[in-house]
Structure formats: structure tokens, C-alpha cells
Structure 1
């Protein structure tokens, strides 16, 4: 793995201020999401790493603002952030080093600002005002409004000029699977925070109440509901096949690794069953390292 300085140089990032900006963004990702950061550093082509690190840092920043505080605080925070982002994208400058790095990444890679504005709009509506899903159609609308733009403000930077229609459609399938797995893995924590992320119509189909889930009742109906949700997630994960062909060659090892981690986490949820209502299901300490090391060994030199 090349040094960070060498990586910045390989990406054409010059000037001490800009290099410091990208370093700030990368450190933020490392603190918040060490597994994706290590995957980028170890597996992605060096010219792609700084811009993708800045993209992931930006995605995390918006997520954090959209999920912190009261609804009024979230709305105010996102409105203020949107103004700062718009100014940074227009001028290329900002008091915030993260936004400076991200604005440079968007400009240098040619990502259409449409994806950024769509993500911020979705954060202010679909995420900040989240009240669960009535049916599958509402979940799909959430993906279109928030989850897909959120992924493309990050992964879209791999493509010069942004993703084309086929590439965006491939990432839409990826997001569908990733969001289902994430919601299942975080069932316990989400319920504790007052968020029910399984469509209410599907609870009704199985004769399950929200209280059944909140109290982690081990009943045949609850087990059947969770098993059905896992099957949906598994089908969505199977539908992501082909995403590697749509990714840039320099990012394919990362995408493959993240897909493998997602499959590992879903398997853990399937095995946990009703226990997923009592504790969130993470990757565990060993699996990410094992998968990363295996992927690094497969990566062409």
C-alpha cells in the first residue's frame, strides 16, 4: 500500500492546502468508518483514493446532520449545510476543509452537481423526516430520494463525468440490497431510537405488531417475518451481480470486498433470528480483516 503522500501525488492533488484538505477528509472517514477506509486504501487504485475518501466523508457528514437532534434541528442544520455546499461547489472554496476537498473532487472528476443537490434534498425530506414505511413502494421511494444519491455522491466520483444511466441503475440495485441488509442488522438500535424500518404492511401480513418487535418477542409470527425480510435481502443481494462490470477497474476490488462484507453480515442476521431484535448485528472483529487480507492478496500488483 503506497503512503498517503504518494497516493495524493498519484491523484494529482498538489498544493499544501489542498493536500491537507484531503488528509482531513480521509482522517474523518478513518475515525467513523475504518473498514471502508481500509478497503479504499488497501484495494483501490491510488489515483481514485483521495476523491473517494472525500466523497465518503461528505456522505457521512450529511448523514450525521440528517440524523442528529430534533426534527427542527435537523431541518435547520441541513438548510445551513446545503448553503455551504452550494457555495463551495460554485466557488471551489469553503471555510470547511472537508467541503473544499469534496468541491475539488466533484470538479476534477466532473460529477454532475445534480447528484449532490438531490442527496441534500433527500436528506431534508426522506431521512430527516423519516416516519417509517407503509409499504414496499415507500421503501423504494426512500431509495430513490436519499439512499441512491447518497451512494453516488461517493461512488459516482470513480467515473469521469459521473455515472451513465446503466451505471446508475447498477448502483440502484446495489443500494437496494445494502439498505435492506443495513436495516436488518440495525433493527435493535433503530427500534430503540423509535425507527421502524420494516414496512408496516408486512408486519400486518404476518400478524406482527410493532410492540412485538420492540419487546423482541420470540413467536412464530415474528420469526416468519424476519425470515421473509432476510429472503428479500438475499434476493436483492443476488440481483447485484454484474455490479463489478459497471465499476471502474481501479475500484472493483473494493466493490467486491464490500459486497462480500454485506453478504457476511446478512448471514449473521439470518443466523441470529429473533436475537437481531435484542442486539445489532455487526461484522464482528475478525471478518472484515480476513476479507480485506484475502482481497489484497487477490489484487493485481
Structure 2
């Protein structure tokens, strides 16, 4: 793995202030999400790593604003961040080095700004005031408004000019699967924070109430509900099995590793049954290490193609 300085140079980032900005963004990701950061550093094409790291830092920043602080103040906070982001995309400047790095990444990689705008609008409408899903249609609308553009503001930097329609559709399938697995793995913690992420219509199908889930009741209905949600997540994962190829060689090992970890986590959720209502389901230590070792054995990412 090349040093961070060498990685910046391979990406063509040579201006000292910009190198400092990208380093700031990378350190922020490392503190907040060490596993994704290390996966990028170990498996992605080094020439892509600074762009992707800046994108991940920005995605995390928007998430933190949309989910943090008093709910009543979140729309205004997102609006302020959106205004600063728009200015940074146009001028390349902002007091925040993270926004300077991300603005530079978007301009240099020519990611269409509508993905960024869509993500910030979704943060204000779909995430800041999140109150669950009535039915599957509401979950799909949440993906379209927030989760899908959220992943593209990060992974879309892999493609000069942004993803084409087929690539973008692939990331839509990927985020559908990832969100389903994440909601199941974090069910206990989400409920503790007042977030119910399983559509209410599906609780009703199994005769389950929110109180059943919050009380971690091990009933036949609860077990049937969780098993059905795991099947839906597994179907969504299967539908996204072409995304590593759409990601291209520069990012393919990362997405393959992430997909394997999601499958591992989903299996753990399925086996745990109603126990997922008492504790969240993490990756553990052994599974990520095995996944990274397998990915390294397959070989590091090759150079990213010049075009999409």
C-alpha cells in the first residue's frame, strides 16, 4: 500500500493546500469509519483513493447534520450546509477543508452537481424528519430521495463525468440491498433512538406491534417478520451481484469485499432471530479480516480506466 503522500501524487493532487484538505478529509473518515477507510486504502486503485475518501467524508458530514441536534433545527442546518456546498462547488473555497476537498473532487472528476443537490434535498426532506415507512413504497421513495444519491456522491467520483445510466442503476440496486441489511443489523439501536425502519404494513401482516419490537418479544409473529425481512434483503443482495463489475477494476475489490461482509452480516442477523432486538449485529473482527485477506490474495485493484 503506497503512503498517503504518494497516493495524493498519483491522483494528481500536488497543491500543498489541497493536499492538506484531502488529508483532513481522510483523517475524518478514519476517525468515524475506520473499516471503510482501511478497505479503500488497501483495495482501491490508489489514484482513486483521495477522491473517494473526500466523497465518503462529505456523505458522512451530511448524515451527521441530518441526524444530529434537535429535530426542529435540522432543516435549517442542512440548508446552511447546502448553501456552503454550492458555493464551494462553484468557487473551490470554504473555511472547511472538507468542503474544499470535496468541491475540488467534484469539479475535477466532473460529477454532475445534480447528484449533490439531490442528496442534500433528500437530507432535508427524507432524513431530517424521518418517522419510518408506512409501506414498501415509502422505503423505495427514501432510497430515491436520500440513500441512492448519498452513495453516488461518493462512488460516483470513480467515474470521470459521473456514472452512466447503467452504472447509476447498479448503485440503486446496491443501496437497496445495503439499506435493508443495515436496517436489520441496527434494529436494536434504531429502536432505542425512536426509529422504526421496517415498514409498518409488514408488521401488520405478521400481527406484530411496534411495542413487540421495542420490548424485544420473542413471539412467532416477530420471528416470522424478521425471517421475511432477511429473505427480502437476500433477494436484494442477489439483484446487486453485478455492481462490482459496474464499479470497474479500480473499485471492484472494495465493492466485492463490502458485498461479502453484507452477506456475512445478514447471515448473522438471520441466525440471531429475535435476539437482534436486544443487540445490534456487527461484523465482528474475524470476518472483516478474512474478507480483506481474500481480497488481497485476489490481487490489488488495477489502474482505473481513463473513461467510465
Q: TM-score, normalised by structure 2?
A: 0.96
Question: Aligned partners of 2:256 and 2:31: how far apart in 1?
Answer: 23
Task: Write out per-residue CA displacement over residues 75-107 of structure 1, whole angstroms, 9 at most, x where no aligned residue.
Answer: 121111111101100101111000000001001
Question: Aligned partners of 1:4 and 1:205: how far apart in 2?
Answer: 52
Question: Aligned partners of 1:172 and 1:87: how far apart in 2?
Answer: 28
Question: Aligned partners of 1:241 and 1:68: how far apart in 2?
Answer: 33
Question: Aligned partners of 2:232 and 2:123: how far apart in 1?
Answer: 25
Q: TM-score, normalised by structure 1?
A: 0.99
Question: Aligned partners of 1:85 and 1:110: how far apart in 2?
Answer: 15
Question: Matched residue of 2:47: which SS?
Answer: helix
Structure-1 residue corresponding to 2:83: 83
User: Shift of the alpha carbon at 1:10?
Assistant: 0.2
User: Shift of the alpha carbon at 1:244?
Assistant: 1.7
Answer yes or no: is 1:184 the counterpart of 2:184. yes
RMSD of aligned residue pairs (Cα, Å): 0.8
Structure-2 residue corresponding to 1:203: 203
Unaligned ranges ≥5, structure 1: none
Moved segments of 4+, more than 3 Å? none
| Structure 2 counterparts to residues 99-118 of structure 1, below 5 A | 99-118=99-118
Question: Aligned partners of 1:48 and 1:270: how far apart in 2?
Answer: 35
User: Shift of the alpha carbon at 1:248?
Assistant: 2.2
* Equivalences, count: 301
Question: Aligned partners of 1:131 and 1:35: how far apart in 2?
Answer: 29
| Structure 2 counterparts to residues 204-219 of structure 1, below 5 A | 204-219=204-219
Structure-2 residue corresponding to 1:54: 54
Answer yes or no: is 1:121 the counterpart of 2:121. yes
User: Shift of the alpha carbon at 1:245?
Assistant: 1.8
Structure-1 residue corresponding to 2:21: 21
Question: Aligned partners of 2:72 and 2:43: how far apart in 1?
Answer: 40
Larger deviation, residues 287-296 vs 166-175:
287-296
User: Shift of the alpha carbon at 1:209?
Assistant: 0.3
Question: Aligned partners of 1:67 and 1:52: how far apart in 2?
Answer: 22
Structure-2 residue corresponding to 1:96: 96
Question: Matched residue of 1:47: which SS?
Answer: coil
Question: Matched residue of 1:46: which SS?
Answer: coil
Given that residues 126 and 146 in structure 1 are in contact (C-alpha distance below 8 angstroms), is that contact kept between their aligned partners in structure 2? Answer: yes
Question: Matched residue of 2:48: which SS?
Answer: helix
| Structure 2 counterparts to residues 1-80 of structure 1, below 5 A | 1-80=1-80
Question: Aligned partners of 1:114 and 1:14: how far apart in 2?
Answer: 28
Question: Aligned partners of 1:9 and 1:293: how far apart in 2?
Answer: 27
User: Shift of the alpha carbon at 1:41?
Assistant: 0.3
Answer yes or no: is 1:140 the counterpart of 2:137. no
